[in-house]
Structure 1
């Protein structure tokens, strides 16, 4: 049984980490969050020590190790995106491996620096890239690999569309602050870009067609795919047929005009991620680098408008 600490315990994604820790037969020793309304812990680890101040959490982790002769084996990080880098460093310097939500960090040079700290401490950084464990996505990767064996020069046409509605609170919170979240592409798109590059190869061209506070759209040229992408948190952009069903999220990936159905199968992916990490098969800095570089580039590119091969949803943006 491994000992875990959790940073960012009150966030949206934290319960999936608590569930994964429990379902893999491990225990949560301590949790940290400035917000103290986290009754969800009662369903998972009511005996875990809880802190609202980082300094007291830091002291507990160090003192617990010295007094008990035990140690924190893993620190799970669900804090706001801009804090991941600092909290990963804390984990490694505390003698623990890190398990961080996406995006691992905001910029590729942060990855380079973390590699140095990995080498110094001998500890490992794991990034949650759960789409790589989704059965439908794995099947797609295997299918594409077989087809590329037959035709190594094949290039697929892909449309990625992800709309996940958010209210006014989103833009008041850290998520709406590009300096803290990395912007729309980093916050809700990074794992999709990772998945596409994992299957279709590295990015050779990166174009942004539209960039607003609630939507980003652009084009990626991969080794084996041309990708038109559209990401938004604006409910108005969701197709009427989806709205009429009472849904507030729309997720679509088409490959050569064929829809890839992967709306289900997400509930256990964090537990699967933890199982792989505990076996030493987690996704590390090398796997994270490509998608972090992609979203960092998107953040710094100027939008060129409706020119070239743009996603059809771009016309929805006013």
Structure 2
């Protein structure tokens, strides 16, 4: 039975990690969060120790687990800007890290974690669950089996409404979240590279506090993309009452992958336990993409804009 610790137990994504630990036969030894609304733990691991001070959490792990090498993994669901330091801390506890996306905010952070891996002999595993989604795997197979010279035309639009709280939280601060493209888009960029090959060109059409849009060229695809958390940006064809709109079309054909998300974290954990997790080398391309989007000059090119970008720009 594998033993886990959890950083960020009160966060939105933490229940998926708790479920994955349970369903893969693990046990939670200890958890940490600065907030104490963690009643969800009772549904999975009611006997796990819990701390609201990182120093106490650290001391507990050092005293109870480090000396016996009894802690196998630390799952990290903390705010984006803390991922690097928490991954490093996990490895220095003598455990492997399992970290939510984005793994880090800048490519140089990956170099620092590579050094900690070398020093400790531990490993960082990133949650990239779209790579495990059946629809994405099928699309990748379709692309691989097509004529080698074929270039696919892709439109990616993701609109997920968020209230005023978003901008008051760490998610609304670029230096903590990385901005819209990093916070809600990084797993899409990883998925696109997984399916269509490495990126060769990136242009940013719009970058704001609530939305971003641009154009990517990959080895096998041309991608027009737009992301937004502003409900006023929802496309006009969004059904009344629906607050989220997600669409990926490939050569005009919609790729349906809204279903099947429930168990992807469990699949991710099982892959990690099987020695098939996604390491730092796998993560680097998507981190380089979002770092570029964060700082690139704004350019508008006709014919390269996502059809729904006009409403976002206004």
Superposed pair shares fold, TM > 0.5: yes
Aligned 8 A contact 1:64 1:70 in 2:
no
User: Partner of 1:275 in structure 2?
Assistant: 270
User: Partner of 2:201 in structure 1?
Assistant: 205
Aligned 8 A contact 2:69 2:94 in 1:
no
Q: What SS is found at the alignment partner of 1:25?
A: coil
Aligned 8 A contact 2:235 2:308 in 1:
no
User: Partner of 1:252 in structure 2?
Assistant: 247
Q: What SS is found at the alignment partner of 2:238?
A: helix
User: Partner of 2:159 in structure 1?
Assistant: 163
1:33-89 residue CA offsets vs partner (Å, 9 max, x unmatched): 00011111111111000000100000000000267x352110000000000000000
Aligned 8 A contact 2:128 2:187 in 1:
yes
Match of residue 290, structure 1, among 285, 292, 309: 285
User: Partner of 1:234 in structure 2?
Assistant: 230
Aligned 8 A contact 1:125 1:285 in 2:
yes
* Structure 1 residues 28 and 312, CA gap change in structure 2 (3 angstroms): same
The reply to whether residue 18 of structure 1 matches residue 18 of structure 2 is yes
Distance 1:252 1:308 in 2: 19
Q: CA deviation at 1:308?
A: 4.9
User: Partner of 1:53 in structure 2?
Assistant: 53
User: Partner of 1:135 in structure 2?
Assistant: 134
- TM-score scaled to structure 1, two decimals? 0.96
Distance 1:241 1:23 in 2: 39
Aligned 8 A contact 1:209 1:307 in 2:
no
- TM-score scaled to structure 2, two decimals? 0.97
Distance 1:297 1:70 in 2: 40
Distance 1:308 1:252 in 2: 19
- Please list every run of at least 4 consecutive aligned residues from structure 1 whose deviation after the TM superposition is greater than 6 angstroms: none
Name structure 1 gaps, 5 residues minimum.
none
Residues paired across the two proteins, number: 313
Give matches, 1:64-103, under 5 Å. Answer: 64-65=64-65, 69-103=68-102
Q: CA deviation at 1:306?
A: 5.6
Name structure 2 gaps, 5 residues minimum.
none
Q: CA deviation at 1:239?
A: 2.5
Q: CA deviation at 1:241?
A: 3.6
* Structure 1 residues 291 and 188, CA gap change in structure 2 (3 angstroms): same
